[in-house]
A and B are shown apart, each in its own frame.
Chain A
Amino acid sequence: MAKKTYDLLFKLLLIGDSGVGKTCVLFRFSDDAFNTTFISTIGIDFKIKTVELQGKKIKLQIWDTAGQERFHTITTSYYRGAMGIMLVYDITNAKSFENISKWLRNIDEHANEDVERMLLGNKCDMEDKRVVPKAKGEQIAKEHGIRFFETSAKANVSIEKAFLTLAEDILRKTPVKEPNSENVDISSGGGVTGWKSKCCS
């Protein structure tokens, strides 16, 4: 393959209950579009978006997971390679908020120790149906020492900001070195190279 079109490759992962809007959040970010029809993600999917941060072209490979429990074994195998994980809940769905601790536990069990985490309260355009106060989201994020944004994929609120912030946080931790190869490594979940293995290789 000929020329590198980016300087760094960051692998991000979206997790959270089924129906909170993970795919829509990603679709807004990658294609700047929104679709109201709900199509449950089958297992795992991904999108690519290249952004520029601090003069560096950063290719974001963003993995979108199925929230449904039946895909659990497939989705958790993709945690390992992630450098950043976005945990999404739905501000109109109390259960999705209660399950945050369960998702955080999944991260602890399956992801790299130094993975950058972020909490998103999605669907903040639906103020009339809100059941989770913003303060509660802020509080739980603070308790776990992670960043928090309320977002709306539909109204395009804070979506780009969230992704760029997460990428910046990862960039800050990334040693300034010659970046990786061109290949988009897609192999199995475990095979997705984490940044650790990357800087060691």
Chain B
Amino acid sequence: MEFGEESSPALAFDKDAFELTVEDVYDISYVIGRDLLKISCKGEEVSDLQFRIVRVLEMFETLVNKYNLSLEELKMERDNLKSELDRILQERSSGQGTQTAGPNQLLVDLTDPNRPRFTMQELKEVLQERNQLKAQLMVAQEELQLYRSGILPQAEPAMVEVDLDTPAHSRATISEAAKEEKTTIGKLFSFRRK
């Protein structure tokens, strides 16, 4: 609101229609009323016109009032939506945790090094191979024990040779990786010393 407006109500006439406030309407009414007074002595027609003008000014007041209120509401609504949008955008960029998915869906964070990435079939195959190797190891262990206990002839050194060919490095890896097999390694070594 400009300072000059109060001192000079006539300034309201110069304003943009969409920037009018209820106060401007009152200023306009004041100016029109004042001007009407100057001519009110001229007869009955003028007094009728006076009432109509007042009525129009009242309508004008209502419209300006309503317009300003609606504008205010829309502005508030817009600000709310804006902050809501900011909140959602921030949530999405900061963490995936709060994201929602369908009832039978899983959201995967592609930056997570521990994210699920193998199929059930792949896991199945790996497990089968692991168990197969484990079984083979057990068979070998058993046979080794038979050799050691003298049930089987000790003449065939094939298994020992295979063992000797194994690079020391990989043997170390095996013993580290499978702690429970340590005893086997121990057996192998004690057998070799014989």
Contacts and interface: CB of A to CB of B under 8 A. Distances in A.
A23 to B, nearest CB: 13
Contact of A186 (B120, B124, B132): B132
A74 B139 contact: no
A46 interface: yes
A194 interface: no
B54 interface: no
B158 to A, nearest CB: 12
B49 interface: no
Contacts, number: 42
A48 B131 contact: no
A44 B152 CA distance: 34
Interface residues of A, number: 19
Contact of A2 (B123, B135, B152): B152
A46 B152 contact: no
Contacts of B142: 5
Given A43-B127, A46-B134, A186-B128, A74 B152 contact: no
Given A1-B143, A2-B152, A73-B120, A42 B127 contact: yes
A31 to B, nearest CB: 8
- A31, A77, A184, most chain B CB atoms within 10 A: A184
A46 B128 CA distance: 11
B124 A43 contact: yes
A186 B131 contact: yes
Q: DSSP majority for the B interface?
A: helix
A3 B152 contact: yes
A44 B139 contact: no
Interface in B132-185: 132, 134-135, 138-139, 142-143, 146, 151-152, 180
Interface in A42-74: 42-46, 48, 73-74
Interface string B98-138: 00000000000000000000001001100110011011001
Nearest to A191: B128
Contact of A5 (B120, B131, B146): B146
Contacts of B139: 1, 182, 184
Contacts of A197: none
B103 to A, nearest CB: 15
Contact of B138 (A44, A73, A184, A188): A184
A187 interface: yes
B138 A48 contact: yes
Contacts of A187: 128, 132
A74 B123 CA distance: 9
Nearest to B145: A5
A195 B87 CA distance: 63
Contacts of B152: 2-3
Contacts of A43: 123-124, 127
Contacts of A48: 138
23 contacts: A1-B143, A2-B146, A2-B152, A3-B151, A31-B180, A43-B123, A43-B127, A44-B127, A46-B131, A46-B134, A73-B120, A74-B120, A74-B123, A74-B124, A74-B127, A77-B124, A184-B138, A186-B128, A186-B131, A186-B135, A187-B128, A187-B132, A188-B128
Given A3-B146, A3-B151, A45-B131, 7 more contacts: A2-B152, A3-B152, A42-B123, A43-B127, A46-B131, A48-B138, A186-B131
Nearest first, the 9 closest Cβ-Cβ pairs linking A and B are: A184-B135, A186-B135, A43-B127, A186-B132, A186-B131, A74-B124, A48-B138, A44-B127, A2-B152
Interface of B: 120, 123-124, 127-128, 131-132, 134-135, 138-139, 142-143, 146, 151-152, 180
